[in-house]
């Protein structure tokens, strides 16, 4: 197949678009930066792309709630077009604010006909947090995490606590292998007793990322685009340089899916 093409969707306040586009290009894709207004005016442009990515940042200043304004725009004008995009076997990725947007659309992640089954709310300590975290993957289903068992990535958010509507929703997500990424300790262990800073925001079941039932829509709070080069690691001078940053695998898996 020809080189996959990724849309990096921008809105006022988005500030991780360039890094995300670079990550896709480093992984072998072509990346175009499209403003939400352009996409709403011409949703058919999605047909020319294989990957839709909502990068991190603070879309519309996170007014009302993180990601809520852009999610409402997508819900009201792009639901049908994005549904067709996904049904065509294509990929959707949401990073940090992008994850918040995917969840708050109500039709992308996780899907539930009864309403909004889960959300991302304020960190349980009530503060913005910026640090690096250990992550454990459930890569049974998620396309973006193929052959990835563990990652060490940065986070930067104030509303990253994953909360399900009820225990039934959480159990279903777990049973269906949709809790694709969880916070853990450095040795890979986690559990109900995982506390700050290993679980940096109080997410239930230590959830850091979720995929849909197909594994082709994935949202995560950590920033893989901020660990593409080995020198991005905070201890690279002490631990030595690796071949590449651990976050690059997320983007390479997306590109390889179309190989």
Phi, psi of 182 (to 5 degrees): -130, 150
**pLDDT value of residue 50:** 98
Catalytic-role residue among 19, 159, 205, 225? 225
| Torsion on CA atoms 101, 216, 89, 35, rounded to nearest 10 | 30
Q: What is the greatest pairwise CA distance in the chain?
A: 51
- The b-or-e profile of 119-157 (16+ CB within 10 A means b, else e) is bbbbbbeeeebeebbbbbbbbebbbbbbebeebbbbbbb
Catalytic-role residue among 86, 157, 223, 233? 223
Name the strand (E) or helix (H) holding 41.
helix 36-41
Q: Is 223 annotated in the active site?
A: yes
CB atoms within 10 A of CB 18: 15
Q: Is 239 annotated in the active site?
A: no
Reading the chain (259 residues) residue by residue, the pLDDT tens digits are 689 999 999 999 999 999 999 999 999 999 999 999 999 999 999 999 999 999 999 999 998 999 999 999 999 999 999 999 999 999 999 999 999 999 999 889 887 666 679 999 999 999 999 999 999 999 889 999 999 999 999 999 999 999 999 999 999 999 999 999 999 999 999 988 899 999 999 999 999 999 999 999 999 999 999 999 999 999 999 999 999 999 999 999 999 999 8
Domains and CATH numbers, the chain: 5-256 (3.40.50.880)
Tell me if 46 sits within 8 A of 92, measured CB to CB.
no
Q: What is the pTM of this model?
A: 0.97
Catalytic-role residue among 96, 142, 184, 211? 96
Q: Is 184 annotated in the active site?
A: no
């Amino acid at each position: 197949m020809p080189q996959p093409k990724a849309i990096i969707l921008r809105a006022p306040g988005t500030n991780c678009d360039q890094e995300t586009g670079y990550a896709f290009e480093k992984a072998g894709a072509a990346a175009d930066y499209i403003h939400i207004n352009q996409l709403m005016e011409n949703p058919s442009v999605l047909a020319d792309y294989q990957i839709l990515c909502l990068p991190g940042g603070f879309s519309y200043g996170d007014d009302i709630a993180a990601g809520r304004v852009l999610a409402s725009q997508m819900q009201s004008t792009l639901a049908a077009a994005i549904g067709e995009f996904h049904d065509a076997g294509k990929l959707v990725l949401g990073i940090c604010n992008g994850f918040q947007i995917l969840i708050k659309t109500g039709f992308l992640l996780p899907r539930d006909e009864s309403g909004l089954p889960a959300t991302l709310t304020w960190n349980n300590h009530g503060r913005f947090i910026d640090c690096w975290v250990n992550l454990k993957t459930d890569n049974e289903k998620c396309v973006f995490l193929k052959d990835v068992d563990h990652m060490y990535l940065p986070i930067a958010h104030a509303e990253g606590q994953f909360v399900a509507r009820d225990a039934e929703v959480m159990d279903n997500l777990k049973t269906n292998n949709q809790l694709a990424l969880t916070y853990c300790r450095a040795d890979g262990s986690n559990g109900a007793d995982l506390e700050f800073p290993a679980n940096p925001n109080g997410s239930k079941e230590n959830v850091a990322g979720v995929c849909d039932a197909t594994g082709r829509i994935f949202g995560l709070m950590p920033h893989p685009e901020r660990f593409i080069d080995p020198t991005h690691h905070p201890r690279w001078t002490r631990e030595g340089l690796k071949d590449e940053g651990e976050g690059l695998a997320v983007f390479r898996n997306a590109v390889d899916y179309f190989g």
